[in-house]
């Protein structure tokens, strides 16, 4: 297939390709339980995801009584990660249309990359568990270049584009971290109406908004400039 307007498609992971709140919520609640905090709902957790584990835990603590000491925070982070890594794909599934969109992009000859603020190790473990790793030429986690260079900075997007050989790229995501990183990298940005939003969907500010991943390739095809 020819005449597709993009060479490289960059994907966020949590809330964009996979519905990982199904396993992140139990991990957050496990950590909160260590200090006797009340659990948060899965719907609430969906609005806490986006900036990596530290941001998610911080938001959960703020929602359930406030922040804790540095020592307790480190203990809760370890508890959260231990629980999550042991159950990383127990309930997580790709969003509807994920496989179909990746198939179509492959047929169009696109290079595909993951650009997530999730740490690289669990990102790879999750992709492995879901049988998705082989789909991507490049996988960047929030710690791959160092946490200080994670989204919303454009660094991992720029590195992934270079690794994929350069060309016209688009960033697909569900949060302002993705939108801002894409803008800073100078690439087209597609916002997902589904997923985990840190602002109302109307405020994400993508070049185009899609209802599901079935609509991704047609949306990209319509972006001719």
CA distance 103 to 95: 14
Residue pair 113/136 in contact (Cβ under 8 Å)? The answer is: yes
Size (the chain), residues: 225
Structure tokens at 183: 């803008």
Q: Where are the domains of the chain?
A: 8-19+92-221, 21-86
Question: Known catalytic residues?
Answer: 12
Q: From residue 156, how far is each of 11, 187, 198, 204, 224 by CA, in Å?
A: 11, 13, 20, 20, 25
Tens of pLDDT, residues 189-203: 999 999 999 999 999
The superfamily CATH assigns to domain 21-86 is Putative phosphatase; domain 2 (1.10.150.240)
Tens of pLDDT, residues 123-175: 999 999 999 999 999 999 999 999 999 999 999 999 999 999 999 999 999 99
Structure tokens at 195: 């997923």
Which candidate, 159, 132, 126, places its Cα nearest to that of 144?
Answer: 159
CA distance 34 to 125: 25
Which candidate, 53, 11, 8, places its Cα nearest to that of 28?
Answer: 53
- Its pTM stands at 0.94
The fold adopted by the segment(s) 8-19+92-221 is: Rossmann fold (3.40.50)
Q: Return phi, psi of residue 223, to 5°.
A: -90, 90
């Amino acid at each position: 297939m020819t005449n597709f307007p993009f060479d490289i498609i960059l994907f966020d992971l949590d809330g964009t390709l996979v519905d990982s709140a199904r396993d992140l919520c139990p991990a957050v609640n496990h950590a909160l339980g260590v200090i006797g905090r009340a659990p948060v709902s899965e719907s609430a957790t969906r609005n806490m995801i986006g900036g990596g584990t530290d941001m998610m835990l911080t938001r959960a603590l703020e929602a359930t009584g406030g922040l804790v000491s540095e020592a307790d925070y480190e203990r809760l982070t370890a508890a959260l990660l231990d629980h999550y890594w042991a159950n990383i794909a127990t309930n997580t599934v790709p969003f509807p249309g994920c496989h179909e969109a990746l198939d179509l992009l492959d047929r169009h000859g696109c290079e595909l990359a993951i650009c997530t603020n999730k740490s690289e190790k669990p990102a790879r473990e999750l992709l492995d568990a879901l049988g998705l790793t082989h789909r991507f030429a490049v996988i960047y986690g929030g710690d791959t270049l160092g946490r200080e260079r994670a989204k919303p900075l454009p660094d991992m997007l720029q590195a992934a584009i270079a690794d994929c050989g350069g060309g016209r790229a688009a960033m697909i995501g569900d949060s302002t971290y993705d939108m801002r990183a894409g803008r800073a990298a100078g690439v087209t940005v597609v916002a997902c109406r589904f997923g985990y939003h840190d602002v109302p969907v109307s405020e994400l500010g993508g070049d185009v908004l899609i209802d599901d991943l079935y609509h991704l390739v047609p949306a990209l095809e319509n972006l001719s400039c």
